[in-house]
Amino acid sequence: MFSLKNKTAVITGAASGIGKAVALVFSKQEAIVHLLDMNADALAAAVEEIKRSGADAIAHQLDVTSQSAVKTVFEKISKVDILINCAGISHIGKADTTSEEDFDRVYKVNVKGMYNCLHEAIPGMKKNKQGVIVNMASIANHVGLEDRFAYSMSKGAVVGMSLSVARDYLHDGIRCNSVSPARVHTSFVDNFLAKNYPGKEQEMFDKLSRSQPIGRMAKPEEVAHLILYLCSDEASFITGCDYPIDGGFLKLNN
């Protein structure tokens, strides 16, 4: 079950966090994996980790905000069966404390960067009459999170784009869904705590973990396994859906 043998998967934001976990899981399921990320060193390390597991992967250093750069990379890859849009950044701020520069930066990566990849991947999928797309959203598009104005804006846009793609290419054999995690324990969390709560990292980590009713943050590979299912033939009847993976955050918080 859940085999991706002979499928070509393109994963953005693949050098760390959820994107890297997806790359590792997909490679184990025998997909041909292309890792796209800006961080060349982390990208090389991720590819090396995949190769140590006995699989193979191809790295592409890429800034997803540049449509011309995205076009060049996708032309090199040629055939795309699966597109996983994980590249994204976060931001802390309210509407009146978010600068125009920061708002534009979040939009360019989280919204325009995703659009750029969709723009380049979909024509080939249409031609082949098949394709699967999973876009990384967030619980921030479902609820009001404090100090997450620009980030929530961007993730709401992700869900809207996902629904549009699912509807527009329904008869081209293309499925599109989004995934909305709650807090996931990645290096981003550790770096955020170290920067903003020096000396209180563990205390704040425990507090953030308890905000999920299940009592902990998700592991990146847990999100990756959900994405694997959505990209597999076993999920061939699923399109136009957003999947919270949130430890009970949306329904069980009182």
Q: Measuring CA to CA, which residue among 85, 29, 35 is closest to residue 60?
A: 35
Separation between Cα atoms, residue 64 and residue 127, nearest integer Å? 23
Strand spans (E) along 62-166: 82-85, 131-136
Q: Is 229 a catalytic residue?
A: no
Please work out, in degrees rounded to the nearest 5, the angle formed at the alpha carbon of residue 217 by the alpha carbons of 214 and 220: 125
Active-site residue, selected from the candidate residues 115, 151, 197, 229: 151
CA 49 to chain centre: 19
DSSP 151-165: HHHHHHHHHHHHHHH
Catalogue the active-site residues.
Answer: 151
